[in-house]
A and B are shown apart, each in its own frame.
Chain A
Amino acid sequence: MPYDTKTNIAGEIPNSVQEKIGLIFQGLNRDLLEQRDGLALTLRTRTRQASSSSHENGNARDVKFRRLCFPGRGVEDAWRFTVVLRMLELVHEALSTGKTLSKRDIYYRDPALFGSQTHVDRYIDDIAFTFDVPRSALNVTAVAKGLILGAVTFCRRDGSNANAAVDREGVLVPPLSELLSVSMKAVKWVLVIEKEASFRSLASSNFWDRLSTEGVLLTGKGYPDIATRALLRFLSEPSPQNGFASPPVYGLVDFDPDGLAILATYKHGSFALAHENSSLQVPQLKWLGLRSEHILMESDDPHASQGLMMLTPRDRGKARKMLERSVPGSISGALEADSEEWRGALQVMLMLNVKAELQLLDAQSGGVSELLESYLAMQSRYTASLTRNLHVDSP
């Protein structure tokens, strides 16, 4: 083993996972400086039942060690090493900033490298096993449909109340049939987020500390189910049951064809079936991001550029079909303006041939919270100026 996890240079025993990861990187650094041939990491992995290579681990019953080398014997070896190294880096970042990442988060920080979610799931468990800690000690959580968090209290038909602010992890979206009414006096805005991972990272940010009393976060985890859409409509459409509240609703989705399709699902259902979905629509939903202007082309920051990916042939095909479905004139008047913005975004996406995940914002300073806060500030300035103009004569 090119590094020693037991002691660091000063001979102290590292006690936190963060320090252990630090040591691993120190070790690798040393190897590089001393120009040794190749780098290596050792992972302790659990034996899997019905393993395809059972003859190999026949003598190691419960635990086997797996050495990952770089450059290794082939592309596979180098990839494996890179994956584990990148994950260690992300875990270290999560631990040092005190943020919690979901497995899905990790995957989306570098989907091009990880290739699929299952790789991330496997290696994160192996990393936790290697350090002999539960996964939660790595500040990594699993992913559980529809979550809501914020200053709303649901009043159920059975007479009980549920406050959606009590648990920072959010509460599962309650079925509308169970609800009698909702109290949302304090709510100034509702933010719909495409992915649970971004929902969680926002919920654990300082931003939420400041604004949890006036906002609501909602995620449908990808394409939303009916319950999530119905709840969003219930919250945002004035009715006696919600105290005639009509807070502005903002949407935060990936910059890719699916992100825009998800946004359109919340807004209109599907364009094709818009007339049938009127009871689930939230047409006032505003597209906050991710927009092409949020993609920092100037940046030399590798994290920011890593978040950018090229469109796949599937993405291009999907974008083109979405364009076809929204040809001007094929949609009724009210949706026309919306579909224009939407078509523009799809065309720009095709021209740039680039997509970006919401997590791209996490890698930029300020991230999602800064974007949202500047937007909310802009809105309130606008409202204030309107109010001022109404009182132009007062000294």
Chain B
Amino acid sequence: MPTLFGPYTSFSKQYLQTHAIPDAHPTDIFALAVTPSQVLSASGSSNIRIYSTKGQIIHADTPEDEHPYPLVQTLEKVHPLGCHHICTSLDGRTAASAGFGGELNIWTCSEEGSWTLKGTITPEPKKAGEHWALALSENGQYLACTTHDGRINVYDTSTISSEGKAEKITQYETKGSLGMSVDLSSNGSMTASGHQNGSIYIFNNTTSRMAHSLSGLIKPVRSVRFSPACRYLAAAGDARIIALYDTQSGEQIANLTGHASWIMSVDWNWSGEYLLSGGYDGKAKIWSVERRECVATQTESEKCLWTVKWLPKAASARNETFVTAGAGKGLAFYREASGT
């Protein structure tokens, strides 16, 4: 513990790149989603690729497996114009992906870990491509989806029909600015959205009303994430700061500064102690939420990191792992070095 009079010690952590999958896709990787045993990657190409994270060696000091993250499935030609968002439910059984053509695909995972298409929600011809960012509820029943004109549509994925329709159970209206990011709290009680014009909203899913309109970022909000215990909301984007809000009071409780460029993606670790963020300049940062400071920075290249994700903590894992992807077209896995 640093004292008031003692020398200031900065608590830093060390992460090592443990594995890389170069050229996982032929184009930019725009989104990653994780389940307890897999990583799903979506890109400008028409395929979704799935890598297994099971059976990897957990301790950094033991020898590496040659293929710790093997490719286990490729969903071929599922988004003809490319795929911009993908998300999974917490239980890892459902996934949703959104394509540049405006189509939404809903996927289910078998016990063996193989994905099949459950159904497609096709846009009405006149409003082609209006869906943008996605989030699934804990068990995958509800899919929240932002639109170009600022709405958040919530679909019941259990009602999906072969004609490409699903029942819309709620529609949240905002001021008409593109919804760039969306999240559902793990307890299912709240929806949050971040918009092009800097607005951030929290909605109460029970009453279907807006609970908070959060101020503070002004510039496009590219990522919003609820903490695992649903107490905080992290929001980040072109303002180059990560803003933390108390989800009950709506008050802004912290600003994490240090990114020199746009922040494209943020993610909480399983315990809510750390935040991971990825920037347009290719830098990934790990933040201690308690200390309100950056504890590690990773620079692989100067290429944009469209997406960064912690892998869910496996029961036996001692050191946490995260994965980054973006304009570099590959996946990079990092693990906290032992003994820090």
Contacts and interface: CB of A to CB of B under 8 A. Distances in A.
B196 to A, nearest CB: 6
Interface stretch (A151-159, A192-200, A344-352, A382-390): A344-352
B262 interface: yes
A290 B81 CA distance: 23
B100 A353 contact: no
A366 to B, nearest CB: 19
Interface in B198-247: 220, 238
Interface in A302-360: 310, 313, 316-317, 320, 323-324, 327-328, 340, 343-344, 347-348, 350-351, 353
A353 B262 CA distance: 13
Given A340-B27, A344-B27, A344-B28, A323 B82 contact: yes
B118 interface: no
Contact of B101 (A316, A324, A348): A324
Given A316-B148, A350-B84, A297 B261 contact: yes
A344 B326 CA distance: 12
Nearest to B302: A293
Contacts of A343: 27, 44, 81-82
Contacts of B261: 297-298
B26 interface: yes
Contact of A297 (B44, B82, B262): B262
Contacts of A353: 178, 180, 196, 220
Interface range on chain A (Cβ under 8 Å from partner): 20 to 34
B28 A348 contact: yes
A174 B272 CA distance: 68
Given A298-B260, A313-B148, A350 B180 contact: no
Nearest to A348: B28
B124 to A, nearest CB: 14
**Interface residues of B: mostly helix, strand, loop or mixed?**
loop
A355 to B, nearest CB: 13
A328 to B, nearest CB: 8
B320 interface: no
A350 B100 contact: yes
Interface string B314-340: 000000000000010000000000000
A214 B178 CA distance: 47
Interface residues of B, number: 30
Contacts, number: 60
Given A348-B28, A353-B180, A353-B196, A323 B220 contact: no
Nearest to B177: A310
B266 to A, nearest CB: 16
B102 A320 contact: yes
A347 B44 contact: yes
Given A316-B129, A316-B148, A320-B100, A297 B281 contact: yes
Contacts of B46: 328
Contacts of A310: 178, 196, 220
B128 interface: yes
Contacts of A292: 304
B82 A320 contact: no
B280 A297 contact: yes
A320 B101 contact: yes
Contacts of A324: 81, 101
30 contacts: A292-B304, A297-B261, A297-B262, A298-B281, A310-B178, A310-B220, A313-B148, A320-B81, A320-B100, A320-B101, A320-B129, A323-B82, A324-B101, A327-B80, A328-B46, A340-B26, A343-B44, A344-B27, A344-B28, A344-B44, A347-B28, A347-B44, A347-B82, A347-B84, A347-B100, A348-B28, A348-B327, A350-B84, A351-B28, A353-B178
Interface of B: 26-28, 30, 44, 46, 80-82, 84, 100-102, 128-129, 148-149, 178, 180, 196, 220, 238, 260-262, 280-281, 304, 306, 327
Instruction: List 4 tightest A-B contacts by C-beta distance, closest first.
Output: A297-B261, A347-B44, A323-B81, A297-B280
